[in-house]
Chain A
Amino acid sequence: MASNKKYWKSVEELKDSPIVETLSKNEFVEEIPTDEFLGDKETLENSSTSRRDFLKYVGFTTAAASLAACEGPVRKSIPYVVKPDDVTLGVADWYATSVADGYDFANVLVKTREGRPIQIMPNKEADGTTSARVQASVLSLYDQELRLKEPAKAGKVISWEDADKEIGLKLNELKESNKPVVLLTGTMASPSTDKIISDFIVAYPNVKHVIYDAVSESGAADAMLAMYGKRVLPNYHLDRAKTIVSFGADFLGDFHGGFEKQFIVGRKPETGKMSYHVQFESNMSLTGANSDKRVVVKPSDQVFALLNLYNAITGSNVPSKATAVDADVKKMASELKKAGSKGVVLTGLNDVNAQLISLEINKALNSEIIDVNNTLNVRQGNDKDVAELISGMKSGKIAGLISYNVDPIYTLANSTDFSEGLKKLQLSVALSTENNETVNASNYVLPTPHFLESWGDTQFDEVTYGLMQPTIQPLFNTRQVQDTLLKWSENTTKYYDYLKSFATTSVLTGSSWNTALHNGFFKKEVIEVVESVESTVVISDVASKLAASAKKSSGFELNFYTKPGLGDGKQANNPWLQEFPDPITRASWDNYLTMSISDARELGFSNPVKDNGAIDGDYAKISVNGKEITVPVMIQPGQAKGSIGIALGYGRTFGFKKEMQVGVNAYPLYANGNNIQYGVSIEKVSGTHKFACTQVQKTIAGRHDILKVTSLKDYKTVDPKDHHHGWNKPAYVSYDHNEVEANTIDLWDEHNREIGHHFNLSIDLTSCTGCGACVIACHAENNVPVVGKNEVRVGRDMHWLRIDRYYSSEVETREEAKELGLSRGDMYLALETEAENPEVTFQPMMCQHCNHAPCETVCPVAATSHGRQGQNQMAYNRCVGTRYCANNCPYRVRRFNWFNYANNNEFDFNMNNDYGKMVLNPDVVVRSRGVMEKCSMCIQMTQATILKAKKEGRAVNTDEFETACSSACTTGAMVFGDINNKEDKVASLIEDKRAYGVLDYLQTKPNVIYQVKVKNTNEG
């Protein structure tokens, strides 16, 4: 029904007046006088828009435009539209998984927040331990510079399909022409991967699997093969040992992956028994530093000392030579015999003959400490295979190389042979998580995920089967090596399915996949017992070969070692680990030549302390077997005269930013994986090296109440508070002209501790090996910034938790100095100077959370104040940065933000890029410049524990409270808890007769309690 209504706007329109039409054609009724306005100069000049108006408009538009431009940068945070089931914002998820990167192996728990792994902690149910490197590996996941992001061919991005097709074609071609291809991997210790590799070899019979460890322990595995028919590493149950004799085996460091947990279990003074550990070594290792007795002996003499020990124990007479330490060897022989099956000998010499001798000694002792059944799989590298590979590549015999997560061009001594051989190959494929020189030199580059993004399984020893599960979506376009190999073997199964069926069918008897995955491990009940195979080893041959290996030459003997920080150098681009101070030298961002005090004096090397507090060093050119490198020299007390040491793993530069390119690559001298090189010549060359040490004064300077050490005998027999011989004497002060114990009088009112929690941390100096896992755990938990080498050098490291290391001096007390008749100045000098072969003690030091905190009274704005739960709290927002608190802190644990360390190009570390920032703990604020910070006793963790208990409607469980350092501590030296809960372990520890507070004479009443270090000096 159409309407014929007419709509109109005006009467004129209704009447169809012509004016309407005219107007509708003409938008502007009056003509706009543009021509008039702009065309005629005169009119323009007379126009009403004056200069003033013009300026006004210009001003307004400029201001408006610039105001609009002034908007702050927009940082988008995208909320979950649909909340994932397993993610609750603000609540951490923990996944049990495993770490296996070729050098570090651990069963761990990974903390994730909003889908990002931010911390790695030991899986204690699986007896897992985490070293500093394992702790720090969470940051390597986010390595923006080195992580490989796309598959590539000859430097150009390629799709996975194309890569698979091309490589598959090439592999088949090589298979048909039967040209050998080598699959070169590091140690993976993964049963399912081993199976995949063997399947791959079945598919491609021309493929050979070569395992290459950058830092080799091939000798020990070869010795096991010769003696027991199994190419594995023996296990050592040091917890049961009575006498441990080690020849350069750094078993608290990286020897066989480390045994610090077992070692410390056997050293609990309260049980009345401690193992007696004697270390014969040339470098000052972490193990030597923790030994009861350290015998300084250079490597060649270690060989003969080992042979002499063998002779003394077995009564045989293999060829050897007298050494300067024979008296000690003889003594230890009788000690070992006394200990019988509870004695054990270890040697760190990577020489099959030396390892055979030590196996023989243990056999002769009938040692139950060494375990050849439940053996270790953590170093499977085979030096012989590697040598063959290189010669094969050089000669052109080998046609293809598939490498996985190894960097031989960096880690091989004869790396030029390797890289030249690589060029001759018809097929070179690098599967790798990180970019490196080998990856760069390979034709195909296939990125693999980090182990925190991967599925997998592990078998570090024969008992524990570990599982690895992804804790984050892969960050980059990566594919696991297992998937790649499956694909190339024409197996269409996904690795996840493969792993699941592998595990359920052949491992998880009596358990389910889900349980095992949840726990992260599965303990096998039955292990095969090795039948002692009839060994073909002829000891006299072995001994004479060994004796011959200790070449007598005029030069120095170079002993390679690995640092707890960098290990083999796989994580050299990890700023946490670079900034991590070496436990022994306290130097960060460097490796160096360690040299004995007397050698340094003779050769003219020195380590002067500069006016800014930093240490300098001279350079030495060392050459061996025609290769030479120039390294700075660090004088090391306790280094054997005639020997020198250098850490591997430094000096990596490929793909590194300039500030990360530190240290010297020592691998070129590490010929044949032999950790001892004889006949090294040293030449002092010009130049001054700038070290970055976090501690300069090496001794305790007579202040023994800071660091109390006693012997097991005294611990058992002497009253700790005895006025003369007491080993835990309290401080005395004069009060009303009477001598009273310092902690009985008090200037201040006590805090009321009746209600709520009262946190204490106990640190057992006997159990602390100084490994530094806690330092990195603290780094990760508390977003501690990395400041770089130059800042550490001038004393501005930000570590909330540090481990002080003290050497003993020749003159230990003022009384001794007086007896020697030293003048006062000489006495101070003597107390300050470290002994040539000192004893070493470690002392973790962090905020002591004093109940009467000196820092609290002096802050003008009350930015630091005392918490109800015993913490000394720091309100960053309130801090104005007077640094008075730091000056008044007798422990000097407060750290000042001298600069902005986040989002600052001057400090281009993990807090300056978007990937690196993913590791930050969202529970802890990132501090700005100008404020003080320090240990908070992980208040975010204790509060989370309290809230969790509250939500679950229960009291906090006994020993439920944890801090990052205490949960990372492998040996249980750090125990944290609530002393208001008398059941908590720490409540009894603070009452222990070994407990003392550092500097308690100051009446600071710390909430961190130390336990006197007890050494078994074997006197009783």
Chain B
Amino acid sequence: MSHYEAPIREPLVLGDKSYHDITEDIAKPIEGKANKNWYIAFYISLAAMLWGFGCIFYTVGTGIGVWGLSKNIGWAWDITNFVWWVGIGHAGTLISAVLLLFRQKWRMAINRSAEAMTIFAVFQAGLFPIIHMGRPWNGYWVLPIPNQFGSLWVNFNSPLLWDVFAISTYLSVSLVFWWTGLLPDFAMIRDRAVKPFQKKIYALLSFGWSGRAKDWQRFEEVSLVLAGLATPLVLSVHTIVSMDFATSINPGWHSTIFPPYFVAGAIFSGFAMVQTLLGVMRKVTNLEDYITRIHVEYMNIVIILTGGIVAIAYATEFFIAWYTGSPYENYTYLSVGAETGPYSWAFWSLLIFNIFTPQLLWIKKIRRSFIWTFVISIAINIGMWFERFDIIAIVLSKGHLPSTWWRFEPTFVDVGIFVGTIGFFFVLFLLYARTFPVIAQAEVKTILKSSGEFYKKRREQGILTKPAINVVSVESESDKSDKE
């Protein structure tokens, strides 16, 4: 049963592919030489990254004063970028864990890259809480490690401390999950490698994967267990990040809907980033047959859903700010005060990029268009950045006491560090695209005969009537358990 798929469903693998073709396609970027475009992109990213590192060193060496912050606005781009990157890091786990539990086969073409994106994004996110500290060299004090400072211990009431736990847990689980999935694929590269050095490296990376049935069985079990572990993390991480704001007392931050709203926003932005990245990658690495229109459409549907949740949250925030009747709520980031105030441009950027633009995805033509999807995904990325900027900067700019109202303007260091993290992210991603199997080929092979275009057509034409039982050698354990 498992490998039967209704003919009405669109194929997930295009073209007349054999297992070997898949292997070849996936291994090509690793085994071949990089083209000129890759080098251009890499060097630009590298330059941005180095510039960002320079700005970070400058900050750490001189003081946080080189940023645009002030006595009244203690956070701005630092935490905006942090939340933005964490949010982007959400799609990966959702795709690989939640969709695995829901048996969504379409995840197989994208989960590897989505998860890579997650990990790289969390790297960027993790930078900010460290460098935003006035004394980052003492950053380890936020860890509850036994120490010789006396009876000093961390403050478990602080959401920032919860962040430390949430982010580090998320990063480690994501990393393990990602690596587990990579094992058979690394082994495949290892087996194909002709140069001894590469063979050695991939042998190390694949942890001695032998391809025995026991390997596969354990692989499946671990995947399932990790998926189960990772699923709550999808919810917990951004819930906790949102509590940085929700547990505070600033009007506009102190809001009970923040946890679900932030989680939805994070998935929204994460999927947008996946769209952005894969839209480019499928072209550059010639993986158009694996990342298809239907993949894009599925992801767009998730974007519509989560974008809708976000839109309702915005509306709620706006309504509640008005409904409280409290003069302290006049200037929250979603209010008439914000709309008419000095940050109206940021207010409108948020609404236009995040609410109005994604509505275009209701149109099927747009939803299935690679170009449109790419454009909208960029818009959402920008919009989600503005969401966090608005929450932080607008709220802090209009505190409780009017005497403390102030404004924020970034310095070149603020901008430099943000650009630097984008550079760093792409450096990692580009290196990944050249050295890692970017598609979980072992998994894709399991669905080739059920969801591959060629086999589907064959079945439709009646040439192949029976389910593809001859793929038993790569049939997955979980599928077997399904049958039982």
Contacts and interface: CB of A to CB of B under 8 A. Distances in A.
Interface of A: 609-613, 695-697, 699-703, 706, 791, 794-797, 802, 804-806, 814, 824-825, 828-829, 832, 843, 845, 854, 856-862, 878-884, 886-888, 890-892, 894-900, 929-932, 998-999, 1002
Given A860-B154, A898-B64, A882 B330 contact: no
Given A612-B407, A825-B336, A881-B133, A860 B71 contact: no
B71 A896 contact: yes
11 contacts: A696-B405, A697-B405, A702-B327, A828-B337, A862-B158, A882-B133, A890-B250, A890-B399, A892-B400, A892-B404, A1002-B400
A879 B134 contact: yes
A33 to B, nearest CB: 54
A769 to B, nearest CB: 17
Interface residues of B, number: 61
Contacts, number: 204
Q: Is the interface of B mostly helix, strand, loop or mixed?
A: loop
Interface string B114-142: 00000000000000010011111011011
Contact of A888 (B155, B250, B409): B250
Nearest to B407: A613
Contacts of A884: 74-75, 158, 160, 244
B407 A858 contact: no
Given A609-B407, A613-B406, A861-B141, A829 B134 contact: no
Given A858-B159, A861-B141, A794 B70 contact: yes
A891 B400 CA distance: 7
Interface string B146-182: 0001001111011111001000000000000000000
Interface string B352-380: 00000000000000000000000000000
Contacts of A609: 342, 407
B71 A930 contact: no
Nearest to B135: A930
Contact of A795 (B70, B75, B164, B400): B70
A858 B327 contact: no
Q: Is the interface of A mostly helix, strand, loop or mixed?
A: loop
B248 interface: yes
B72 interface: yes
Contacts of A701: 327, 330, 402
B333 interface: no
Contacts of A998: 401
Nearest to A814: B327
B74 A612 contact: no
Interface string B27-50: 000000000000000000000000
B211 to A, nearest CB: 46
A703 B65 contact: no
Nearest to B158: A860
Nearest to A803: B403
Contacts of A860: 142, 154-155, 158, 160-161, 164
A760 B155 CA distance: 26
Given A858-B160, A880-B142, A929 B134 contact: yes
A583 to B, nearest CB: 13
B135 A862 contact: no
A610 B134 contact: no
B260 interface: no
B240 interface: no
B63 A930 contact: yes
A862 B407 contact: no
B327 A930 contact: no
Interface of B: 62-65, 68-75, 129, 132-136, 138-139, 141-142, 149, 152-155, 157-161, 164, 244, 247-250, 327-328, 330-331, 336-337, 339-342, 396-397, 399-409
A587 to B, nearest CB: 14
A898 B402 contact: no
Nearest to B70: A795
Contacts of A829: 340
A892 B401 contact: yes
Given A610-B409, A806-B402, A896 B64 contact: yes
B93 to A, nearest CB: 25
A696 B69 CA distance: 16
Contacts of A612: 68, 70, 407-409
Contacts of A899: 62-63, 65
B63 A878 contact: no
Contact of B71 (A610, A796, A805, A857): A796
A881 B60 CA distance: 12
Contacts of A930: 63-64, 133-135
A900 B141 contact: no
B158 A883 contact: no
Contacts of A900: 63
B336 A891 contact: no
B70 A613 contact: yes
A353 B139 CA distance: 70
A492 to B, nearest CB: 58
A862 B408 contact: no
Contacts of B247: 857-858
Contacts of B153: 862
Contact of B152 (A791, A795, A805, A862): A862
A796 B152 contact: no
Given A609-B407, A706-B401, A896-B71, A931 B134 contact: yes
Given A860-B154, A881-B133, A887-B250, A896 B401 contact: no
Given A806-B402, A883-B134, A887-B250, A857 B158 contact: yes
Contacts of A802: 403
* Residue among A791, A861, A891, A930 with max Cβ neighbours from chain B (10 Å): A861
Contacts of A878: 141, 149, 152
Contacts of B160: 858-860, 882, 884
Contacts of B337: 825, 828
Nearest to B78: A883
Contact of A703 (B157, B342, B396, B402): B402
Contacts of B408: 611-613
A504 to B, nearest CB: 53
B340 A828 contact: yes
Nearest to A787: B65
Nearest to B161: A860
B340 A862 contact: no
A825 B327 CA distance: 13
Contacts of A896: 64, 69, 71, 74, 134
Contacts of A797: 71
Contacts of A856: 157
A761 B400 CA distance: 21
Contacts of B138: 880
Nearest to B139: A880
A555 to B, nearest CB: 36
A894 B71 CA distance: 7
Contacts of B401: 703, 706, 804, 845, 890-892, 998-999
